[in-house]
Structure 1
């Protein structure tokens, strides 16, 4: 009786110790994910470089997930629908917290972070599962933790965990297949739940990243190796096929959304939604880039595979990982080796293909081999080594590898507050103004892309629409307003029908307002302080003008702080926006009369900073509205607006403006008239 009582106590103690060990493993995973989350949030993408708006997966995924539109072919339907839910859910949370216009870039990038954390958890759990033993029911979780931590700071994984790309989800999907396979093979009896889950995970590649399917052929081979009778079990086999094909139903979303929005189709000879759909999901537009290219020297080495692997993992880790895979058991080793072989063949064959799609899941598969070798080193008495060395050497080496990889990856993987993220800055200033509701916006390509993103994705002034020249002409023909940036105004004017009468004047310092000549009217009443400065310029310009035709009158001047680009720009340079309101003769602005507007301090001009020519802070124009003033159909006696922006100096008080009218003559300039004005008080603005 005493002996039975003692055995029971030992059993209870063993179960308690086992529970404690498993709980430690769970807490280790939570700490791993918490550290990774903090790291990724601190380096999360929150801006664009100019080239990123011009095309590519990053911007394509952003538009797709915000607007629930198909992404780049074949559409990534499940991933995109999940991103749509993630984005709109989080944005609503921010709005509940009082953030009216939350930055969509980190919200969308955090969707990649979600998948990255899942991938790290799966790698950790797989490592713990592979290293379980009777004395370690939770597995060798310290080594699994360090291996997952090392992978979390490799450059590619870190970068794609903090930017709007789909690759971390493909890594998570690949690792999920490996983990569920381990659960299936170790089930005490055939477990159809794991079988169907494996089929579903494998089939998801048909509705996601197709290269994930590279693991499926070796997976099927090792499963049939272990259970050859699977093909004879009709019911489970039918369920497996059904589960694998189930994700294809998500393509109904691609078809329906595309049919509802033919403007998303792009350029092509498609006459019906069906024609577009089949061309899209079959990636017809992208097949040329994946053409065969058997050039061993260029494809194998110049393409980045396998060079990137040993550059990121280091040659020792790569070798140890490939050797260690053999210690995982014959079937799992064949699964991993077979997958890596297919990855290698893909990279070699498609020298211009998306080789990084298979680089990313290659790393964790190799690191599973590193974990197996390190765990074997700690457990086996050969080769002989002191106990402390056997226990601590792998951990210390992995800690050193994490430190090395973190410092090496951080400069490139940190996408937060990059100095080169300037793509939205000017567009933010262009929108941070009281623009008329429903106006069309015409701008140069980079500005147009940025304006489109801010209005449609960031939802800053969504009532405005970025238009091309054809759309602008249609709007003007229907007596609707079009605003053009001053540097794009000449392009718009040249591309408008020559028979379309338009009037053009300034709308602030950045925009020119285009209106139909027969419907032109002032967009806002003249503001600011009255001036009533009259200049007779006929004699000075040498024109044969009739009485009054050479007289221009500056009726008013309005001065406001320059827009800062809120809520997009972090720090816009300070400046002043000045609008001059001119009353002109019937003949318009006198030909040859130019304008110069300058800042003064104590009556003296202010030198322009960092100007080696010794110039002053000033804006010179060949005439009102950057020289584009056109008054076809303009109401008589109505003043026209003329906008300027002057940068403020970093040091010293500005107290005045100087307005100079001049003309260009041989060898220099000739002043026609000068007006000095005190700067109005802007403290209340």
Structure 2
């Protein structure tokens, strides 16, 4: 054992340095992503939340179905760490770290110089590979996708795998491996097909003789088709369906889902009215790398000193992804540029290799260490700056707010109450996530309805069925048909005005506005996770004595013993859903306001202050009241 440790281990390290460097870079990237990983559910209105629930349910994701991602995600949901959302986020970090290691291998292979240029080989090429991997790892867009449940880290891994495999085709078996990887990539993200023109270049040049044999074509076709059988997952799990209910478990429904034909509208139309000029794309690229100069140098190096295959493969892939992205008019186009960022990182690594190799053969030997040191310091500075900015941005972005909001919503209906919550699909997915993964209030019916007319119809139907109905947001037309009341972050829909005051911890006081009296109030601290104090929630019950013609607003404040405001929120009554002109005389309106407290707020007594004002008249105050002080720990 001592002999192996002292002699054999260094030999192993020396024999396969690129493998060890790739593994080390992947491990470092994983630690980086793990340290900035989203702690739980952090979004509502994108695909991340959908994947966190679909993988747990082993259901069907939005088109094209993502069978490989869903099955792998299901395995990650079984890990005994964090909550389910965290585990699926962790999967992205694992694939992203592997992609970083593959970028190193791809960059080292792509930067291999032609014969007769030994100074550009060896350590400069490996240093360039390290630069490429590090630049890609800390790029803001890729980093953001490496730390949440999303498909782009695995997609990047496939892009790097396919490109490197195409540059290292030696034996006939390599052709079959390439075909298998190509087919497997199509079971994940359909834009992997944009790599295929680049893969065809070495096949049609260096391997024409092999491809002339029908047996080789047949085996490649079989190898490429075999992983596509993973799409059988969709009909096998068709009884679970998709979260939005659009998947139909028929042949026509299967093909419509897998082909993703509905996305054609983003190429042939512009439903989101996206307009982007050349400056947008230039800034998008430069923001990922701090400067584009090394990538330009690397591209020129590949064209003049590198292998033509590397320049052709990476150039064709970059052109294909760029052409598609220029035509694809979606709001989040930056994530579709991740393969472009990967390729530019490879070119930047080639540029670094060329500059370092050139520094190593400067005419004066005394200049060489200084020049190499300056270059290493410059690239290190760029990577460090990108890393510091990226880490700070993600720590600020990833909070527990979405997590707490979901639990807060589910806590509002009384236990045993036949309740339904109506909202848009993303909000209902959040509630379904907690119902499925943590068994929180599975008795509550969640009703997704994105169109306002559909939500109004759902509320009418549910009220007629005897349900206690809650809304997640303001619904135009609801205030004219029903009475509304605040219930935590939700809006309770009442079929008739509330003429009996609900129970409150504290009595009310005098009239504080035109025909409005505070009938009672109480305070609480809602669900809160993560750092910082929980908000202060004020629950107010207003008694409507006379009609109110003006649409008034409330400024709810928390004042310290010196009269200084330490927290405040301004809003329309009942989360902007129940304007005062809609209030009926004689009814009691339950209202609510959450005051976010500063992190360094000292313990002590604070006075809640309520101010009614008219925003149509320069915020003219129409009434105010100071409530008894509350003591905060």
- The alignment's TM-score, normalised by the length of structure 2, stands at 0.71
Within 5 A, what are the aligned runs for 1:589-668?
654=605
**Residues 1:69 and 1:395: Cα distance change in structure 2 (over 3 Å):** farther
Q: Is the 8 A contact 1:150 1:398 kept in 2?
A: no
Deviation at 1:117, TM superposition (A): 0.7
For residues 470-512 of structure 1, what are the alpha-carbon distances to aligned partners after superposition, in whole Å with 9 as ceiling and x for unaligned? 3333333332322346x7488546567xxxxxxx796866656
Within 5 A, what are the aligned runs for 1:535-550?
none
Question: Alignment partner for residue 173 of structure 1, among 152, 158, 164?
Answer: 158
| Gap regions ≥5 residues in structure 2 | 1-5, 448-454, 549-553, 611-619
**Residues 1:608 and 1:272: Cα distance change in structure 2 (over 3 Å):** same
Q: 2:281 aligned with 1:304, yes or no? A: yes
Question: Alignment partner for residue 64 of structure 2, among 74, 77, 83?
Answer: 74
Q: Is the 8 A contact 2:605 2:630 kept in 1?
A: no
Pairwise CA RMSD of aligned residues? 5.7
Deviation at 1:367, TM superposition (A): 3.5
Greater shift, 272-281 or 126-135, is seen at 126-135
Q: Is the 8 A contact 1:505 1:628 kept in 2?
A: no
Within 5 A, what are the aligned runs for 1:269-284?
273-284=250-261
Counterpart position of 1:285 = 262
Counterpart position of 2:30 = 37
Counterpart position of 2:102 = 122
Counterpart position of 1:416 = 394
Counterpart position of 2:346 = 365
CA distance in 1 between counterparts of 2:253 and 2:109 reads 46
Counterpart position of 1:144 = 129
CA distance in 2 between counterparts of 1:605 and 1:623 reads 33
Question: Alignment partner for residue 154 of structure 1, among 139, 156, 175?
Answer: 139
For residues 611-668 of structure 1, what are the alpha-carbon distances to aligned partners after superposition, in whole Å with 9 as ceiling and x for unaligned? 899xxxxx9x9999x957999xxxxxxxx99676686996785599999xxxxxxx99
CA distance in 2 between counterparts of 1:361 and 1:670 reads 60
- The alignment's TM-score, normalised by the length of structure 1, stands at 0.66
**Residues 1:17 and 1:479: Cα distance change in structure 2 (over 3 Å):** closer
For residues 441-481 of structure 1, what are the alpha-carbon distances to aligned partners after superposition, in whole Å with 9 as ceiling and x for unaligned? 24689976765665567765444333344333333333232
CA distance in 1 between counterparts of 2:348 and 2:138 reads 13
SS at 2:466 equivalent: coil
Counterpart position of 1:53 = 44
CA distance in 2 between counterparts of 1:612 and 1:77 reads 45
CA distance in 2 between counterparts of 1:372 and 1:397 reads 10
CA distance in 2 between counterparts of 1:93 and 1:565 reads 22
SS at 1:93 equivalent: coil
CA distance in 1 between counterparts of 2:319 and 2:627 reads 77
Q: Is the 8 A contact 1:21 1:138 kept in 2?
A: no
Larger Rg: 1 or 2?
1
Question: Alignment partner for residue 83 of structure 1, among 73, 79, 86?
Answer: 73
SS at 2:61 equivalent: coil
Counterpart position of 1:337 = 315
Counterpart position of 1:636 = none
SS at 2:81 equivalent: helix
Counterpart position of 2:381 = 403
CA distance in 1 between counterparts of 2:383 and 2:93 reads 19
Q: Is the 8 A contact 1:299 1:350 kept in 2?
A: no
Deviation at 1:123, TM superposition (A): 2.2
SS at 1:435 equivalent: coil
Deviation at 1:261, TM superposition (A): 2.8
Within 5 A, what are the aligned runs for 1:191-590?
191-192=172-173, 194-258=174-238, 260-261=240-241, 264-266=244-246, 273-291=250-268, 301-302=278-279, 304=281, 308=285, 312=289, 314-326=291-303, 327-347=305-325, 356-370=337-351, 373-374=354-355, 376-377=357-358, 381=361, 384-386=363-365, 389-390=367-368, 393-394=371-372, 396-408=374-386, 410-411=388-389, 414-418=392-396, 428-433=407-412, 435-437=414-416, 439-442=419-422, 451=431, 455=435, 460-467=440-447, 468-484=455-471, 488=474, 491-492=477-478, 494=480, 559=522, 561-567=523-529, 571-575=533-537, 577=539
**Residues 1:389 and 1:108: Cα distance change in structure 2 (over 3 Å):** farther
Deviation at 1:45, TM superposition (A): 3.4
SS at 1:416 equivalent: helix
Q: Is the 8 A contact 1:324 1:372 kept in 2?
A: no
For residues 245-283 of structure 1, what are the alpha-carbon distances to aligned partners after superposition, in whole Å with 9 as ceiling and x for unaligned? 2232222223444564376354xxx98743333333222
CA distance in 2 between counterparts of 1:319 and 1:477 reads 67
Within 5 A, what are the aligned runs for 1:92-111?
92-94=80-82, 102=83, 104=85, 106-111=86-91
Q: Is the 8 A contact 2:486 2:591 kept in 1?
A: yes
SS at 2:300 equivalent: helix
CA distance in 2 between counterparts of 1:512 and 1:303 reads 40
CA distance in 2 between counterparts of 1:166 and 1:263 reads 17
